[in-house]
Structure 1
Amino acid sequence: MTPDLALDWRAPHETSVVQTLGPLRRGPGDPAFALGPDGSVWRTTSTDAGAATLRVRQLGPDLVRCEAWGPGAEAAIALAPSMLGERDDTSAFAPDLPVLADAHRRNPGLRVPRTARVMEALVPAILEQKVISLQAHASWRRLLQRFGAVAPGPTPRPMRVVPSASGWRAIPSWEWHRAGVDPRRAATVQRVAAYADRLEEAADLPPAEAIARLTHLPGVGIWTAAEVAQRALGDADAVSVGDYHIANYVGHALYGRDMTDDEMLQALAPWAGHRYRVIRLLMAAGVPGRPRRGPRMAFVDHRAY
């Protein structure tokens, strides 16, 4: 099917479509994200003009073709370069540890995306609070399949567009329950949806002001705000403090030992402005973290209550 709009974009630096857009996927069955058989990335979004589906293909190390379908096609195409890391400036990044320098050399196209769609990053981050990823991803899938609109365009599999703010607020309590979302997280989603317009404005604020606006609402802490900043705001410095695994991963990847959050921040201080980039590069390069032993976060089935 011919797209409603298309753009061939040459990035100002080498850009890997799959690595850059990968963090936008919420689990392998995400209804809003798919990988095509030709290696293209398909992603749905809800713009002010309406729903849109994007297909993004790698044509060369710095050349990308973006195609869009739906009433929001023009807005989605306009944001595509930003989503692919156009604003991601690595000129001041100095990977001066051998392990980090090697990770940077092996992943030259890894960029930090900026979707500029805050709610699309905030809701799944709230669903991921205090539960294992497998459980949060299952909740996200069920909610989108149940309440998301059918994606426009010739998607490689059935896809959905995330609900609008009013759509999130209209979901009844029993549907959150069936999706395995406890009342606290469900209430937080509906609370932030009531202030969606103000939260979307955070995409154009300086990072510190954007984080302050997000964390002003009850239920949105620094971890959740960082998860949003990494995807919607293009913040290469946003560290998910309070994460169940990140501090120990960074500690072992860089220095071979466990770390607290404070120790992790101290270890990452030499790369201020690029701390999230450091973590992404280490993970992309397959640098091992803490050996898998000891207690893990348990699966809690909230549908049982």
Structure 2
Amino acid sequence: MIETISLRDGNTIPQIGLGVLRIDDEGVVPVVESALEVGYRHIDGAAGYNNEAGVGRALASTGFNNGELRKQLWLTTKLRDSEQGYDSALKAFERQLKLLQVEYVDMYMIHWPTPFDWRSDETWKAFVRLREEGRIRTLGVCNFLPEHLDKLHEQTGEYPTVNQIELHPTWQQRNVVEYCKSHDIAVEAYSPMARGADLKAGDGLIESIAQKHGVSEAQVILRWHIENGTIIIPKSVHAERQRQNIDLFGFSLTEEEHHAIDALDGPQRAGHDPLTFTYA
């Protein structure tokens, strides 16, 4: 059983989801199907991944696009940055729903803040309208720094419920995490293992902890996230690794082990800079 996180808006989100970045539209179908089969009930996608149609086909083939099964699934997607704005966001959302073959999404997110072309205020108004219409349950953002969250709140009077950020042992973004926690914004981690690089972090530390618990290095890092109360969306295209990535609730790190992983924090991200990047 995957534990859930209670969100500020009253919804609950499975703490572990499947990320589908860098999987093509045909390839994503069996990946999502196998994840649902092994027990995932949280899929994290985006318009920018160019595979929403494939995700939709997988949901339809498994029956998770409607009825009782749909109620069991948390489905997230994100607005393409080039479609930010009020009218353009509403139009984009309609297209995305059709691709996903669902009547609503559980969370819709602004993908990047694009401070050099800021339109989050107008985009947010469109999100609120869609929430009022019952077609979005939770509103979120990705890659927002405290300054962006402040600006959004000043302009709209609202904070997002979730902020999805790059977060892993060697890039912990503690100032962003602390800001989010102080404003009751749930933190969701993408690249939770730094695209695999953190499996070797700490000169064998992760491997040593894994051997003590009889688990994989990936499970050690993901368990660290779980104990921090972070929502995680690890990506794997292999069913056995998908199983391992949700099998995190049968062991716990010792206090010393957890602190040792905390100490791996470093100055280098694995992904893009929110101040300069856009998923056009």
How high is the TM-score relative to the length of structure 1?
0.27
Structure ID, larger Rg: 1
How high is the TM-score relative to the length of structure 2?
0.29
